[in-house]
Amino acid sequence: MKPYIPNPLPLENIEWAKLIDLMGKANRYIARYDGLLQSVINPDVLLAPLRTQEAVHSSKIEGTQASLRDVLQFEGEQKVADNKKSDIYEVINYRIALKEGREQMQSMPLTLNLIRKMHATLMRDVRGSSADPGNFRRIQNFIGPPGSTIDTARFVPPTVPDMTEALGNWEKYMHHEELDVNVQLAIVHAQFEIIHPFLDGNGRMGRILIPLFLYHKKIIHEPVFYLSDYLENHRSEYYDALKNITDSGSWTNWIRFFLQAIIVQAERNINKTRAIINLYEDVKKEIIESTRSQYAVHCLDTIFIQPIFSSNYFSKHSGIPKSSATRLLDILVKESVLEIAEAGSGRRPTIYAFKRLLTIVND
């Protein structure tokens, strides 16, 4: 199979008439979601579990087995099986890379240099860490099942010279004013996967770019629009729609698939975010009334950021003195705000779970 030569951007053959029905709906749903985001007073707290869930879903597309619970248990200082730790580190790196991208974009635009920096973070000390993290490839790669050769591969990305030219064109296109931003996002994501500029981590990096591109275009006020849940649940369609571009040269099926993903996932994101906001307000009242403590909000924010945690974690990260922390945890269990997931024994700490939040995130 010969290396693919990507279409230069912007595309000249977009069939806009076949996209109009989904374009309008996708724009309305994104606007509704962003309106809801703007009402979130402390997104770093309330949306933390959704960030972790996105990282879990995106990593699962690439074959990891770690669940949201696995990651939360690990970060909440509960023991997890050794064979899950490498997958958990991949999930955590994904989340850190996305956060670093957002922070960097406060002072710089979305560029190839920033993408290389995020890729270095994404691949640090995990599977693929030997595949030149943070650098665009200098050799030919190909995609296929284990045992494939370049002749039997499912897809062969561009040669290094063609890749370099296509990346420059792709970066310029990100700053181009397209007729519709969501259609542009569909093209940006697909073209990145087609170029396949890294030796490993292209899929995860391409999905990190989805919320960052919308943030770059000022379509959303926080880069927290995540598609990996939908893409994981429609994995075969996702890969087939991408492959249809390189097999037939037609982008219409891919763009329609992507717009539909935006519509479905935006509605889910709206429902989950609204449910989390309502839960935060309800539990805030419960904690204030039941504890009468000056540390009520510290307690509230800690359990939203980390809904599975050990007593040691709570004392260390909440900023609450240990004597007060123990009393507060006892009250929250008594009032059914928290549940004991695993009773402490000897030197082993008690593990707590905020199941009402976990139910929303996992729904």
Dist CA 12 CA 126 (whole Å): 40
Query: Does residue 79 have a pLDDT over 90?
Result: no
Query: Does residue 1 have a pLDDT over 90?
Result: no
Read off the CATH number of the domain in which 326 is found. 1.10.10.10
The answer to whether residues 145 and 208 belong to one domain is yes
Domains held by the chain: number: 2
Dist CA 307 CA 359 (whole Å): 11
Query: Does residue 77 have a pLDDT over 90?
Result: no
The answer to whether residues 256 and 295 belong to one domain is no
Query: Any alpha helices (H) in 154-310, and if so which ranges?
Result: 160-174, 181-195, 202-216, 228-233, 235-248, 252-291, 296-305
At 56, list the tokens.
């879990």
Which residue in 57, 189, 196, 216 is the catalytic one?
196
The answer to whether residues 196 and 329 belong to one domain is no
The answer to whether residues 311 and 181 belong to one domain is no
Binding-site members for ATP are 62, 196, 200-207, 238-239
Is 189 among the catalytic positions? Answer: no
Query: Does residue 348 have a pLDDT over 90?
Result: no
Q: Which of 272, 298, 330 is the last residue of a domain?
A: 272
Provide the residue range defining the domain that includes 298: 289-362
Segment 121-129 mean pLDDT: 93
Query: Does residue 284 have a pLDDT over 90?
Result: yes
Query: Does residue 29 have a pLDDT over 90?
Result: yes
The answer to whether residues 319 and 197 belong to one domain is no
User: Does the residue 100 lie in any domain?
Assistant: yes
Dist CA 257 CA 245 (whole Å): 12
Read off the CATH number of the domain in which 144 is found. 1.10.3290.10
If one counts every other C-beta atom within 10 angstroms of the C-beta of residue 108, the result is: 9
